[in-house]
Chains A and B, each alone.
Chain A
């Protein structure tokens, strides 16, 4: 439904401001996730420390979006598409804030890894899952900006790939740990990083579901394809 302007133009301005803040937050999140991975792959401590610092900005933006969203509800009593816009902004801001935390957690592990035994070429699998997840995050944020629920649902369906990749990475790292106990410390950190990345993918699918809700006014009802069998893999081994 193409939207005409509200009679009260400051209402449009409120919604616009909310959308702008969310776009800013989304951009910052992409950057943070990308740089946390880069810091991990290159063992770049200063970059990791910058990521940790940047996460505060994401938290601040989330607070602002929440405050503005609540104020808009109180002042304008939005209904229909307007209400969905506000609710979607609040939800997506929450997911982005969590994504920021996960990126920060990866960065913290990079700092913690300093001085530890670090076997080369173990991080290759992580790079792959990270690329996939970053692409998903970017795509879902674009889908939100364009209110394109079809693109959002494509993201939603692809999350199974990330889960499957995480599963194989889990097995791979397990093998390295069994091979050489000196790998355990590093691999455990790497495993947590991979899990964090996989969780970022989950938040991207949450955003996809919110975009669907925003456009259609109802929740996604289908069951998402699941590829994460890591917990089952433990009992198998």
Chain B
């Protein structure tokens, strides 16, 4: 190969920790304090676009705290202080001029326990797009609701009872309803905090299948206590321990030959 051809090629990504996709979220030296407690220490991490990143680690290691930094959920805790920088598409999300409501429309969240609104299935989905002004007509809103339910693989199960209450669905359906509600406002990032821990294996399998489909269009960050789930659904994994990221890398490598002894001990069930 001659020199000009080499020069003309796009520059390879600088960091060795990067996968094929460019980073969607870049965190630098993030520190979180709950009053005096130093919960996250100098966390720096790149989260690739349109891929699934899993956070694993024992309880209290800071993985959920970090997840909640990404859509500024920690703002709602009075004693919580976040230092450092988190950028989504090069925009600092802790910039004082940033509209937090808009941020949370861009960064959706699904929680451990399904938490549908005590309203109809239709209203659960329509609420977000309506307050964000995403639909100009009833027909458009109907379309958004249908698409969101389809993307969450729930449409066929609920299309004939959209006016039934959302809380009447099974646990797995409720969780998919919550995912549909999250994607109805066309977010770029979906944060999932142990989305399957309250579900049976079949409902869990459906959510995992859904996560795999959603990563075509969304950047997904998932916190899970199930090693197997992290291994199955994610492309990259970060292992948190005592408030620091011990190791991050391609999921395959983390689960076959991790570099750090602490990672190895944790995933193989030697401490936790």
Contact = CB atoms under 8 A, between A and B. Distances in A.
Interface of A: 1-8, 11, 77-84, 216-218
Contact of A6 (B228, B256, B258, B270): B270
Which 8 residue pairs across A and B have the least CB separation, nearest first?
A217-B257, A79-B255, A82-B268, A4-B270, A79-B267, A1-B261, A6-B269, A80-B264
A77 B227 CA distance: 10
12 contacts: A1-B261, A5-B270, A6-B270, A7-B271, A7-B272, A11-B269, A79-B231, A79-B255, A79-B268, A81-B264, A81-B268, A217-B253
A88 to B, nearest CB: 13
Contacts of B271: 4, 7
B268 A6 contact: yes
A65 to B, nearest CB: 20
B62 to A, nearest CB: 21
B261 A79 contact: no
A82 B265 CA distance: 10
Contacts, number: 46
Nearest to B258: A80
Contact of B256 (A1, A3, A5, A83): A83
Contacts of B269: 6-8, 11
B135 to A, nearest CB: 45
A227 B24 CA distance: 53
Given A217-B256, A217-B257, A80 B270 contact: no
A1 B256 CA distance: 14
B228 A77 contact: yes
Interface in B239-272: 253, 255-258, 261, 263-265, 267-272
A11 to B, nearest CB: 7
Interface of B: 227-228, 231, 253, 255-258, 261, 263-265, 267-272
A170 B116 CA distance: 78
A80 B268 contact: yes
B251 to A, nearest CB: 11
A7 B272 CA distance: 9
A83 B258 CA distance: 12
A205 to B, nearest CB: 22
Contact of A218 (B255, B257, B267): B257
A84 B258 CA distance: 12
A179 to B, nearest CB: 56
A3 to B, nearest CB: 7
A7 B261 CA distance: 16
Contacts of A217: 253, 256-257
A4 B265 CA distance: 8
A78 B268 CA distance: 7
A83 B268 CA distance: 9
Contacts of A78: 268
Contacts of A81: 257, 264, 268
Nearest to A3: B270
B16 to A, nearest CB: 17
